[in-house]
Chain A
Amino acid sequence: MSIDPSYPETETRRDGFIHFARLLMELGETGSTREKTDLLIQYFRSAPSGDLAWTLGLFTGRKLKRQIRTRQLAEWLTEWRGIPGWLFEESYHHVGDLAETLALLDPSTGGGQPEGNLSDIMSKLQGIPNISDEEKAALIRNTWADMSGSQKFVFNKLLTGGFRVGVSAQLVIQALAKVYETEPAVIAHRISGEWDPASTDADAMLRGEGRSFDLSRPYPLFLAYPVEGGPEDLGHPSEWHAEWKWDGIRGQVILRSGTWSVWSRGEELMTDKFPEFEAWRSLLPDGTVLDGEIMAMRDGKPLPFSILQTRIGRTRLSARLLKDAPVGFMAFDVLESGGEDWRMRPFSERRARLTELVKAVGQPGLQFSETVPFTDWEELTLRRREARERGSEGLMLKRMDSVYQAGRRRGDWWKWKLEPMTVDAVLVYAQKGHGRRSNLYTDYTFAVRDEDRLVVFAKAYSGLTDKEFREVDAFVKRNAIEKFGPVRTVKPELVFEIAFEGISESKRHKAGIAVRFPRMHRWRTDKKPEEINTLSDLKRMLEQYGSHTSPGDGVS
């Protein structure tokens, strides 16, 4: 079953975890994509099949559950190390990462040669909920005892469910395509959908064998890059199709042999969350897969994303919720029709088919993204300005003769979003970041003025350069007024231009409004806190562009 005949011993190897941990550390030490790919190829060629399945699952974003309570781990550790609990807290605060704090505080100094594969570790971890606390403590202590610091760190990431890796799923797929000598799109499809790493023969799956064809299996999504500058460089307008871009959750609806499924981006099966869609089951022809945006929608009219948010994450969908936050599907592509894979057909043909299909269903909850006709780029630039009033984020540009690719690709699909809305606001709270930003105050809360007081309206973590973050960090450290746990209130002095994509009314927020994707656009060192925008400025924006159907109105 091994992948490469030159590695006949892979199935009998017992040091898989060492290799897995080393791979992760080495991936973290290089910024070069080529080197990362080489490391992955090398690893995939020699990993035992069981470890291959887990690595694939973990690297393509499968989430792990936290198997154990943080407090319990902290208690054991402080006992083993002989330090008071507050010192654990201070350490965690300094390091900024739980798994790493545990690894650094553990007193054992193992030899770094733990026995067992990644799959062994994972099956141990999955068994944790079924054993007693004493057994849990012993398991963790014994596991740590054999491990080096970096191995403990990797193990703890798996244990605490915080596993993230600095390589994209795309890169993993490219490496696998090299190992299995096939196209990345083929690999992406083979590993898509739902499979359990604990019971999957990953090698067979990657060869396209073994795994029976899954009726619910989605296609890997094609994602667009933003247009840089204007669209003029894209070529002749007649080669392009434009449509409104909508803000929801990317998804696929699949109907095969009577099996109905709804997938979201991130490959989550969400069929049960959208009972509204069930009605189309009998109206769509069998063997259909549609790609589009799952959106809050009433009578065929898009609603703001904040309303969709009230639906996501709810396990029970009350009649009230279904009424207050109705959901629809804005379709924009056909990936399968008549049971046939349509991805290699030109976009213009898929688009025509999509229009037919959606019209035939004739339900207000199933729409197709409206075409924006144009003859030259200037005209399209003008049309784009209508987007905000339509509740759209901007435009999508798709090449008429393009095929449906897998992953984020340049060339055929582009998103051309509106310029964001902006306001000037003052920094009032700061909190330390995580990972690369642990130890630095990088998570900020901003306020606008409301007569003589300040009202908090948005949080933002991104948009500044490392140098600027360091400067703001130094300011926070010098100008902190009060401590609330990890949060510092700061003298309201630094002014930033905050950009965001959308604005809506919200009862859950103090200011009565919620903004979408806020980030720091610029540090306005030229402005004083007296010059920032006011709450009434935000309310005017809400008047003009926002929605008045507050998600809080119905649910609270």
Chain B
Amino acid sequence: MIRFTEHGLYCEAGDFHIDPWRPVRSAVITHAHSDHARTGHSGYLCAASGLSVLRSRLGVQSYETADWGEPVFRNGVRISFHPSGHIIGSAQVRIEYRGEVWVISGDYKTENDGISGCFEPVKCHTFVTESTFGLPVYRWRPQSVVYDEIRTWVAAQLDQGRSAVLQAYSLGKSQRLIDALRPFAGRIFAHGAILQIQEALKADGHDFPEVMRLSEDIPAERRKACIFITPAPIETLRASRLIGPWRSARCSGWMHVRGNRRREGGDKGFVLSDHADWEGLCAAVKATKAQRVFVTHGFQSIFSRYLNETGIEAHEVQTSFGGEEETDITPDNPSNQI
């Protein structure tokens, strides 16, 4: 029912693509990260709660939306969106045609982060899953524990008169951090890329503490010992000269492994991910009751081999997804200034 083509995942019966990476007529989008949502398609279909962020990233396009679970039909193919818990408005896509059901997970995490919606297991015959952290060494501790650690670290920096810089992906992790840092409202600054997303979310009615833009116009004493959230390494930004002495910490699932933490060279790493860990991936696959699984971006070969050994038919698929846990902004891009 779905084919893996050079444009991306394609449903022939309904003549639409899911998260295509080359321009197509009709694109169904799971979420707004740049490896899944690209410009150049004639039409976009997405979950209603994902629209504001998608529009802030892709600009004016021809959008159509559907509420959670609400069916949309294309040539008799039934499409519906279900929360994937990855970022605000992120969805799994359920596709049904002549009694056969596929679910394309996009990216997902199984722990409810309180802002992105709760991952909903959807029964299907064929499940297309990501595998970003598809190795058993990746096992997350509860979000509340990590948040406590982050808040403790931030408070310690502020107490010592230093700014606390948190480096995190602009769409997804940054919103979680802003949410977690509510007790510090009034001292939170962010990179422009994050502010743009905050504006879109605010306009859409989301409740977040105030996040400010950093500039020379703000009195120096307010800029010192502040919190600064940025997707790019602070060392590469002009902001590093505005916030007084600082310490930085990277927030990413990759920080779970010491070698990655040390390679990044930041002062500290917090293990915070918007993807499912190993147990999460295994549980999600099981909950779909799927007889066949296609494993995409991440540890495809390992996770599919494991599934095959546990009696679930699995295949690995090469896609152009993945990589968004890396910094999405390169230091030499001039638009990064602050």
Contact = CB atoms under 8 A, between A and B. Distances in A.
Interface in A87-120: 87, 90-91, 94-97, 100-101, 104-105, 109
A88 to B, nearest CB: 8
B257 interface: yes
- Contact-size category for A: 20 to 34
B264 to A, nearest CB: 10
Nearest to A86: B305
A95 B136 contact: no
Given A91-B135, A104-B139, A30 B258 contact: no
B306 interface: yes
A86 B305 CA distance: 10
Contacts of B257: 94-95, 100, 104, 438-439
A94 B259 CA distance: 10
Given A87-B306, A105-B136, A95 B259 contact: yes
- Contact-size category for B: 20 to 34
A95 B256 CA distance: 10
B309 A84 contact: yes
B241 interface: no
Interface in B248-293: 256-260, 262-263, 265, 267-268
A83 interface: yes
A105 B259 contact: no
B137 A104 contact: yes
A129 interface: no
A439 B263 CA distance: 10
Given A29-B268, A87-B306, A153 B258 contact: yes
Contact of B302 (A87, A101, A104, A466): A87
Contact of B136 (A29, A83, A438): A83
A81 B136 contact: yes
B256 A104 contact: yes
B259 A436 contact: yes
Given A95-B257, A100-B257, A28 B136 contact: no
Interface string A432-463: 00011111100000000000000000000000
Nearest to B306: A87
Contacts of B305: 86
A91 B262 contact: no
Contacts of B139: 104
Nearest to A94: B135
A480 to B, nearest CB: 14
Given A104-B256, A438-B259, A439-B259, A95 B309 contact: no
A10 B267 CA distance: 30
Nearest to B305: A86
A495 B169 CA distance: 37
A95 B257 CA distance: 7
A91 B259 contact: no
A437 B259 contact: yes
Which of A28, A30, A90, A97 has the most chain B CB atoms closer than 10 A to its own CB? A90
A87 B262 contact: no
Contact of A436 (B137, B263, B268): B263
A95 B267 contact: no
A28 B262 contact: yes
Contact of A90 (B135, B138, B262): B135
Given A87-B135, A437-B259, 11 more contacts: A31-B267, A83-B136, A87-B136, A87-B302, A91-B137, A97-B259, A101-B137, A104-B256, A435-B262, A438-B257, A439-B257
5 contacts: A29-B267, A87-B136, A438-B257, A439-B259, A440-B263
